[in-house]
Structure 1
Amino acid sequence: MFLDKMSFDYIIVGGGTAGCVLANRLTEIHNTTVLLIEAGAEPTKDKAYLGTFALHDPHGEQDWNYIAENDGYASQAVKDQAISLIAGKILGGSSQNSYMAYTRGAPGDYDKWESLGNEGWGWKDVLKYFKKSESIDDLEAKPLVCNTGPTNVKMPKWEDRLDVLLKGFEEYGYKTLYDINGYERQGYGTAQFAIDDHYRQDTVHTYLNQIRNRTNFSLQKYTEVVKILINKKKVVTGVEAIVNGKEPITFYARKEVIVSAGAINSPKLLMLSGIGPKQHLKENGIKMKVDSRNVGENLSDTPMVMVPLTGKEGFESFKNNADLILNLNIFPTPVAIGHISVNPTQNSSDYQSHVLPVPSASVIPAIFCSTIFRLDNTICISLAAAGIDKEIIINPLALLHPESKGNVKLNSKNPTGPPIVSLNYFDYNTDDLERHATYIEDYLNVIKTKTFKSFKSQILKLDVKECRHLEFATHEYWKCYALNLATSMWNYSGTCAMGTVVSPRLEVKGVKHLRVADASVMPRPVSGNIGAAVVMIAEKASDMIKDKLHHTEPVYGYSQAAWRYKEMATLAMPCYTWKKTIVVTPNTDRLIRYGWYNA
């Protein structure tokens, strides 16, 4: 579809993880039109299967192909000293490129958001939106979950193949958790994945496909928004966009523009539109509309380091290499996830582990090392060689809540050029490097347990040339190791943060009719993978927009008072139930078509 100079009530910029959710929820509003603009294309069929990560490169036409700046300090053992910033340029965004590990984050993460002045973002407030988005029917923590949402979450059954690892962690002092998103979060348990019926639960599958035939919904693909239109009264009126690299076209918004382009592209678009640090805009020849000095700042990422152990010796596990083919619909190897606080009294975690036992003579270690971590060939060769006649236990150990902050800057006023992204891992003014080394040591202590000693597990020494001068397995060695092997877990957030750039209602400060709703609004990162939290943000943002609308217009034939009563009653329910409803109004035919709502 090609649209030009058309008006819509709402324009959503970015058809990624958050944008698809917003499009679904906003088209529920009776007599309201929504335009979703996406720079990329439809996802290819192979994206549906989690296990195909081994068969294709995450870069290419369906990725923005951004590269972090090399600071000459961190990540020097990464190929070309260049960290790839995977970000989906495709409908569904990064929900198409991630491995769909499902973690909500810790309750304390959201309570911290609220304590920073962001009212309505505490755990008690956001839990209902996690429940609204989820369908989880096999977990024990029933009060914390629902089985009626659009996103199906499953815990693959790996028989007993994780038992020995979980037993070892429990022997060391970390509980075995049935539900890693349950009441108790400190410990290890089987990973949960957003998968169902052989398909990844990306937001195209779970939210967008359900609304493609709604007559109040329009989708514009292959279209990059390059400017938000702001009039003299600082009211946003629409966007300017480029379709297939051709001349700019204009779309107008009668009510709001919602930016959901992600933690790299959302601040880029704001700055291109004149909302950003005054001096930086001046340096790039952009007329300032709002001096917002924190746009693009506060970039938080989760540095992760591959920490391998040896498993059982011999070729007994060789048969499990069939997982790579047989389990394309889930993850091609068993995975245990751990959220650990060195201080157990904390209400959030210090580090996250993804523990993957890999069979002997497997290609997975080489693929992980070369394609995902993108480490130097000498490191990957030493890893692959070690796994020929024994199992390898891989752990991408991630530092949660780093104090170091990076930033996103414009490279020029060229709207289609890549931004400058500085991750600033292990800033000298923080203790991040000390902490990361300590957490690696804490994890490695598991080899001292009787369980791990029973199969003679050892720390696998990789050939890290930057650390050859240090004694292996000392604290200084692990500091060197973390510094040089650190790469991204692709959990970028914070660049349009609540409290500084946007209000708690996600409205951009200094202008009207503009919101941001994606990972960029997180004031602090969450304890784990961020996909579920981004969906939650989009769900909550949709209700905020509806709430504003309900003060001025009836919805689905309800009076304002009746709708508000119904809405409050619905949110108080333990779960959301979706059903088709007919309300007798002059617009009944439209209500039948769009009348899916919480009841």
Structure 2
Amino acid sequence: MKSSCGRFRKVQNRAMSTSTSRTSAQISYIKQMQVALAAFALLNLNGSLYKKDANIQDRDTFDYLVVGGGTAGAVVAARLVEANFSVLIIEAGGNPGVESHYPGFVTYVKNSRIDWNFTTEPDDFFGQCLKEGSGPSTGKAIGGSGNTNYMLYSRGNPRDYEKIYEITEDSTWKWENMLKYFLRSERLDDEEVLSSAFGEYHGSNGTIGVTKDNREICDEYLRAFEEVGEDVVVDNIGAGILGYSSGLYHIVDGHRTTSSESYLPPLNDNPNLYLTRHSTATKILFDDNNNAVLWSNINVLYPKSRGEIRLRSLDPEDQPIIETGYFSDDQDLEDVVDAVLDLIKIESTPFGQDNALEFLPVAEMCRGIEFGTREYWRCHLLCVTVATWRDAGTCAIGDVVDTHLFVIGVKRLRVVDASVFPNALGGAILAPTVALAEKAAEIIIADRKNHNMCGGKK
């Protein structure tokens, strides 16, 4: 799969400044906007979407505790409540605010009140020009990182799920068996895709609203790619087809859609759903029969580089140590350079000429290298690349959890989020995480019926 038009911008014959004064002004403006948006949040504009905090007392019991009301947690909780189980969602953040509701405010979400504000450790690879460091924008609010991402809706390639099957030898994780969870959760509103040969791979009656980016500028970019001999397709998500296509986004009627606002509000009157905000789970208690475990909570689609997340201390409030390892394998850097060189071909197309499309040098540390060369783009990428939202593998299935998502060696504890994917998926991870949560809820309910409630086998 290749990038959608939403990743590119026109440059109308103007220079791109990287001066310190301009950067400082931009940062100042963003911070001012964040203050204004935080003030809006005090009005609790979307607080009525969700239940009020439950009045939890000592010795209260629930069938299930869901730690984190994020992308996966909201789905799992909703499905269990629908199956008549009592569920308490423990959410560290509060309600998402107006800054996450409207797509145009996405720039102001990072390092805001609904972001965990994690930072990555400096290294000799990516982000060398970023004085203040970088970090993934990780949602700290009901709905999790579905509030902070760029709303791209994709699934990865079918081969991604075949790899999970190869690791687990569990055929329920194969692509053809995972597809039903995508169909169940997706509500695509685009007649062109639904009526095409790829329509069977999309859902139109699911829970999360999805729309296609049909702006005229997208069509113009796609024509430019055709002019340089690239494949343009109606849809490159449903069947894992290679080619350029307008992107799908979890946006409906001009606002962001998340799993929390899609799954939870219909259950507000259900007495089995309990929610507590601004609450952090700091410890999991085990009895003498359980084993203890330490558990911490343009793109390269299939990176070879590997990073690491470690606990900084025993204090659960301390930020974890995040070492991304981005570009530590040189092949990843070479792959992105190839993608850049592929992209800049459109500069010489009729579309590029008509719109004065121009790629200009912006990386100060690369000024001594001939612009446009492979060496220049290597330098540029090492300078400006930042962490995004598509990390996976910290609780990988097969190593940390089994195929029913029980933590291996621990009873009555499962992990259901993107961390269980053993490898990075070839695309944005919201849709796969929702599909994973749908599958997990189905597994949990079936295990309950079969009296397999503990798991934890080594």
> Please, what TM-score do these two structures have when normalized by structure 2?
0.81
Q: Does 1:529 align with 2:428?
A: yes
Q: Does 1:275 align with 2:294?
A: yes
Note if contact 1:137-1:146 (Cα within 8 Å) is conserved in structure 2: no
Q: Match for 1:152: what amino acid?
A: G
Partner of 1:33: 86
Q: How far has the Cα of 1:174 moved from its partner?
A: 2.1
Q: How far has the Cα of 1:152 moved from its partner?
A: 1.1
1: distance between equivalents of 2:204 and 2:405?
28
Q: Does 1:412 align with 2:313?
A: yes
2: distance between equivalents of 1:46 and 1:440?
31
Q: Does 1:538 align with 2:441?
A: no
Residues 153-197 of structure 1: CA distance to partner in whole angstroms, max 9, x if unpaired?
A: 111432x32222111111222222222323363112222111223
Residues 95-153 of structure 1: CA distance to partner in whole angstroms, max 9, x if unpaired?
A: 11122111111111111221223522111111000000011242232211121111111
Q: Match for 2:163: what amino acid?
A: K
Equivalent residues in 2 for 1:393-542 (5 A)?
A: 397-427=298-328, 429-462=329-362, 464-542=363-441
Q: Does 1:176 align with 2:232?
A: yes
Partner of 1:240: none
> Please, what TM-score do these two structures have when normalized by structure 1?
0.63
Q: How many residues align?
A: 392
Structure 2 runs not aligned, ≥5 long: 1-53, 453-458
Q: Does 1:99 align with 2:155?
A: no
Greater share of residues in helix: 2
Note if contact 1:180-1:188 (Cα within 8 Å) is conserved in structure 2: yes
Partner of 1:117: 168
Note if contact 2:157-2:240 (Cα within 8 Å) is conserved in structure 1: no
Partner of 1:126: 178
Q: 1:473 to 1:156 in 2, by over 3 A?
A: closer
Q: How far has the Cα of 1:450 moved from its partner?
A: 4.5
Equivalent residues in 2 for 1:93-492 (5 A)?
A: 93-119=144-170, 120-138=172-190, 139=193, 140=196, 141-158=198-215, 160-183=216-239, 185-234=241-290, 274-275=293-294, 397-427=298-328, 429-462=329-362, 464-492=363-391
2: distance between equivalents of 1:497 and 1:155?
32
Residues 511-563 of structure 1: CA distance to partner in whole angstroms, max 9, x if unpaired?
A: 1111100010011111111111111111110011011112249xxxxxxxxxx
Residues 480-516 of structure 1: CA distance to partner in whole angstroms, max 9, x if unpaired?
A: 1111211122212110001111112211111111110
Note if contact 2:119-2:322 (Cα within 8 Å) is conserved in structure 1: yes
Q: 1:118 to 1:68 in 2, by over 3 A?
A: farther
Note if contact 1:177-1:184 (Cα within 8 Å) is conserved in structure 2: no
Q: Cα RMSD (Å) of the superposition?
A: 2.0
Q: Match for 2:181: what amino acid?
A: Y
Q: 1:49 to 1:111 in 2, by over 3 A?
A: same
Note if contact 2:156-2:240 (Cα within 8 Å) is conserved in structure 1: no
Note if contact 2:346-2:352 (Cα within 8 Å) is conserved in structure 1: yes
SS in 1 for 2:283: strand
Q: Match for 2:207: what amino acid?
A: P
2: distance between equivalents of 1:190 and 1:85?
25
SS in 1 for 2:217: coil
Note if contact 2:306-2:324 (Cα within 8 Å) is conserved in structure 1: yes
Note if contact 2:71-2:434 (Cα within 8 Å) is conserved in structure 1: yes
**Pairing partner for 1:44 from 87, 97, 108:** 97
Q: Match for 2:310: what amino acid?
A: K
Equivalent residues in 2 for 1:554-573 (5 A)?
A: none
Q: How far has the Cα of 1:84 moved from its partner?
A: 2.4
Q: How far has the Cα of 1:201 moved from its partner?
A: 1.1
Residues 72-106 of structure 1: CA distance to partner in whole angstroms, max 9, x if unpaired?
A: 432111232x1122111100111111221111111
1: distance between equivalents of 2:335 and 2:152?
24
Partner of 1:10: 64
